[in-house]
Structure 1
Amino acid sequence: MKLSNFFIIFLLFSFCISCSKEEPVKKSILKEKNLELQVLKTYNEAMVSLESGDVLYAAKKFNEAEILFPQSQSAPKSALMAAYAYYSQDYFGDAISELQRFVKIYANYKDIDYAYYLLAICFYEQIVDETKDLQSIIKAKENFIIVANRFPDTEYALDSEFKIDLINDVLASKEMYVGRYYFDKQKWIPAINRFRTVTDDYQTTVYTEEALHRLVEIYYILGLTDEAKKYANLLGYNYQSSEWYEQTYKVFNKKYEKKKKEKNKKKNKITKTILDKIKSLAN
């Protein structure tokens, strides 16, 4: 009898333990589902605000959705949308802060390529011109390079490569702007350094021809004829039909301009003679 009572007590005890274990699990599941519903509600509220143009409130609600359930799959999406909300109305500083935080916390997120691309765009759209602060230009280029190198098969890579070329044009323009200033002031060494930067680092830009010509001019002025000829040969080999090659040719052939004028004068004289003959025939 005692053994039987002991067995019953044991079963009851086991049942109580089982119930006590199931209860926290049920509460956890319910809590998680409740959080998901709150996140969804907050996210949808943010989307409505974004679409209505209230981007600051939208960003706030997206951040709130992320914080409500940081372990959920929707957390990184909410964080990314907060950054986009700021970007959509040109709050570039806030968007950049959000995106820099995003790429650190959610480095393995499936849309990390878009995050880097949007970060690059935020810097890119702040570029004013080549005479201004270069910080935005450099940061934009750095992030476009990340996109092009790390995600080469994405739609963002192609546009990133295109914008890198545009940025290189801006950077080369900056070097030429400063180089011309030094050239006019006859500060030959700093001028050489600027023009060399263009020929060495920005070879595919439209400024390479002029930079080569300027180097020819400077080295010729300094009496370094061999060095001048080296750059003249480079210019001739790559851009023989350009106006800058013609300018370079004048540096080495001082009679060139005189011959050119005489040639044009002779050509105009022949043309006038032919026209006079045609006119006489018409009469």
Structure 2
Amino acid sequence: MRRFLPPPSRLRAVIRGLAIGLLAVSLSACAMFEKKPEQLAPDEPADKLYNEGLTLVAKKEYKDAAKKFEELDRQHPYSEWARKSLLMTAYVKYEAGEYEECIAAARRYVTLHPGSPDAAYALYLVGASYFDQIADITRDQGRTERAIQALDEVVRKYPDSEYAESARRKITIARDQLAGKEMTIGRYYQEKRNYIGAINRFKTVVVQYQTTRQVEEALMRLVECYMAMGITQEAQTAAAVLGHNFPDSPWYKDAYKLLQSGGLEPREDKSSWISRAFKKLGLG
């Protein structure tokens, strides 16, 4: 799921300039002197380190760029350059695929500079790092949940930022992933004729993830499970809700045929948990 993640907009112009050699790197002229054993090496100017880091970013040499930004932070820890370098450290760690380091740097940025205009971008990097590590639905989805949490925070705290819309799209994909995990387990239970276990999983999709693409199949599987258990009223309700909300769905056609084979037709019981779950979101 990994995609190139652009840096903050105000940095993009700088990096583009670097790529064609237009960035003027300010170099401080330092007099050379003999180093005594007890002497420490003099600090390099912050702007020199920062611009060297940007030059490496333009070349996509992200690991070397990170070293420059980290050195700047070490040598000039309380400067404005250090604030900028911390954000760039998070960015280059992301591009290098070093997600845990990216998350650590980005969270540190948000903690130290919560009022910065770039705090939204730092938090977005956290969510994107988790998002890019989402595993397939047969594996643990802890990173998927953490991605949603971080990206949701971007949307809530910075709804007008340039990252909010991208965060929303990623949340949609991540929620569908979680719903898919529930469906996989539910289908397994259904195959084993553990209908109660299966219904509980499909119910989770219907209640918690009904805005995902998985909900149509979940409703159809509920029809199958309830029919297998002889609970026809709930089966009819699941089919009715499916048909009302997704009339053109092939899952509805299958549900309708299944009911017909038992001499039944879709009929909604308004008191059913299925009906109540959809009406809660205004879908029923």
Say if 2:148 is the partner of 1:170: no
Describe the SS at the equivalent of 1:165. Answer: helix
* Matching residue of 1:9: none
Read off the aligned partner of 1:215 and give its amino acid letter: L
Structure 1 position 138 matched with structure 2 position 145: yes
> Does the 8 A contact of 2:135 with 2:141 survive in 1?
no
Identity, % of aligned pairs? Answer: 39
- Aligned counterparts of 1:102 and 1:218: Cα–Cα separation in 2: 50
Among 60, 63, 85, the alignment partner of 1:56 is: 63
Cα–Cα, structure 1 residues 246 and 42, in superposed 2: closer, same or farther, change >3 Å?
same
Which residue, 228, 232, 236 being the options, matches 1:229? Answer: 236
**CA radius of gyration, larger in:** 1
Query: For 1:40, which of 35, 38, 47 is the aligned residue?
Result: 47
Alignment gaps of 5+ in structure 2: 1-41, 264-284
Q: Which amino acid aligns with 1:237?
A: H
Q: CA RMSD in A?
A: 2.0
Q: Please state how far the C-alpha of 1:42 moved relative to its aligned partner.
A: 1.7
**Counterpart secondary structure, 1:253:** helix
Residue 45 of structure 2 aligns to a residue in which SS? helix
Question: Deviation at 1:55?
Answer: 2.4
Alignment of 1:154-233 (within 5 A): 154-233=161-240
Distance 2:144 2:257 in 1: 37
Aligned position for 2:119: 112
- What is the distance in 1 between the residues matched to 2:208 and 2:220? 16
User: How far apart are 1:188 and its partner, in Å?
Assistant: 1.1
For residues 63 and 256 of structure 2, the distance between their equivalents in structure 1, rounded to whole angstroms, comes to 60
1:76–1:109 CA contact under 8 A, matched in 2? no
Cα-to-partner distance string for 1:22-77 (whole Å, 9 max, x where unaligned): xxxxxxxxxxxx97x71112212222333334322321221221232333222211
Q: Once the 2 structures are TM-superposed, how far is the Cα of residue 106 of structure 1 from its aligned partner?
A: 2.0
How far 1:108 moved relative to its partner? 2.1
Pair 1:214–1:106, CA change in 2 (3 A):
same
Check whether the contact 2:130–2:147 (CA below 8 A) recurs between aligned residues.
Answer: yes
Query: What TM-score does the superposition give when structure 1 sets the normalisation length?
Result: 0.73
Shift of residue 116, structure 1, vs aligned partner: 0.7
Runs of 4+ in 1 over 6 A off after TM superposition: none
Determine which of 118, 128, 134 is the counterpart of 1:121: 128
Q: Distance in 1 between matches of 2:136 and 2:223?
A: 28
Q: Which has the higher helix share?
A: 1
Aligned to 1:69: 76
**Alignment check: 8 A CA contact 2:52 2:65 kept:** yes
Equivalence map 1:79-118=2 (5 Å)? 79-118=86-125
Counterpart amino acid of residue 59 in structure 1:
A
Q: Which amino acid aligns with 1:150?
A: K
In the TM superposition, residue 143 of structure 1 has moved relative to its aligned partner by: 1.0
Shift of the alpha carbon at 1:255?
Answer: 7.3
- Native 8 Å contact 2:53 2:66 kept in 1: yes
Offset at 1:87? Answer: 1.3
Aligned to 2:250: 243
Q: Distance in 2 between matches of 1:74 and 1:240?
A: 58
**1:188-238, Cα deviation, whole Å (9 max, x unpaired):** 121111101111111122211110011111112212222222212111211
Measured against aligned partners, the alpha-carbon deviations of 1:108-164 in whole angstroms (never above 9, x if no partner) come to: 222100001111111111123222221221111111101111111111001111111
What's 1:78 paired with? 85
Contact 1:192 1:215 in 2 (8 A): yes
